Amino acid sequence: MKGKNTLFLVLFTLVLGLFALGGCSTSDAWRTRLSSGPVTYEQVDVEQMQKETGIGEVILSFAFGIPKTAEEKQIYESLASDIAAAKTFYEARRVHFLAPGESEVGKAAFQKMFSFAVTSEEWDEVYKSAPSGSETEKIAQMKRDTIRNTSLGNRLAAAITFSEVENVYHLTTTGSVMREAALQKMLSLATTFTMAQKVYTFAPRADKIEKAALEKMFTFATTLAEVRFIFQFASLGTELKKATVRRLAEFYKKEQKK
C-alpha cells in the first residue's frame, strides 16, 4: 500500500530481516520459523523481540495489525471510535495513517476516505493509499485526473497572457491533450523571439508545434545569433532552412562592409 504505515513497515521489515539473517542472538529454531513463511502475531515472542531490537512493544505488535497489549487495545479502540465519528476526509485520513493498514479500523478509514474524497488532492491521496493494480486505485486515478483536467481547462480558457498560459502548461502532464492545448495557446500569444523559443523548447521533438515555433522565431529574429540558432535546428531542404541561409548571407555582407 503506497505511502501507508511507512514507519511500521520499515521497522517490521528490519526486525524480521535481523532475525532471519541471524543478526540477533536468538535461537536457530526461531530463525527457522521466521524463514519458513509468513509470521503471525501468535508465533512472535514480542518480549524477546523487544529486548533484542529495542523497539517498543506497541509498534512491534501493531506491525501485525492486531492489538494485543492493554495500551495498544486502548489506542485501537480510540481509533475505532474516531473513524465511526469521522465526518470529513481529513478526519478519516488521520485514522487511516495511524491504524494498521490491514486491520478492520484501517480498512474502514480507507473506505471513508474514498467516500469523502472530492478534490483532486483528496483523490490523489486515495490513489496513493489504494492497493497497486486494484479497481479502487484505477477509480481514484480517473477521478483525480478528470477533476484536474477540468480545472486546468477552465484556467487555460481564462488565461489571456503568455505567462498565464505558461503557468497552466507547467501543471499539465507529459503527453496530455491539455499540455498540447497549452503549447498551442502559448505559441499564438508569443510576441517575441524569446517567447517563441520557449515554446520550441517545451514542444516534443519533431512535433508540429516545434516546427511552427521555429518558424515563428524566424519572424522575430533580428540578430546574427538568433538566425544562427534557427539555422542550426531547421531541417535540411525546408523553406525555413533556405530562408535562414539568405538571412545569414545578408548579415555577413553587412559585416564585410564595415
pLDDT of residue 26: 41
Q: What whole-number distance in Å separates Cα of residue 90 and Cα of residue 95? A: 9
Q: How confident is the model at residue 88 (pLDDT cuts 50, 70, 90)?
A: very high
Cβ within 8 Å of residue 15, ≥6 positions away: 49, 53, 55, 60, 63
Could you read off the pLDDT of 29-74 as tens digits, one per residue? 433 444 444 455 555 566 666 666 665 655 555 555 555 566 667 7
Could you read off the pLDDT of 218-249 as tens digits, one per residue? 999 999 999 999 999 998 888 999 999 999 99
Could you read off the pLDDT of 114-129 as tens digits, one per residue? 999 999 999 999 999 9
Are 67 and 59 in contact by the 8 Å Cβ rule? The answer is no
Could you read off the pLDDT of 7-38 as tens digits, one per residue? 444 444 544 554 444 444 444 443 344 444 44
pLDDT of residue 65: 55
Are 83 and 92 in contact by the 8 Å Cβ rule? The answer is yes
Q: What is the pTM of this model?
A: 0.57
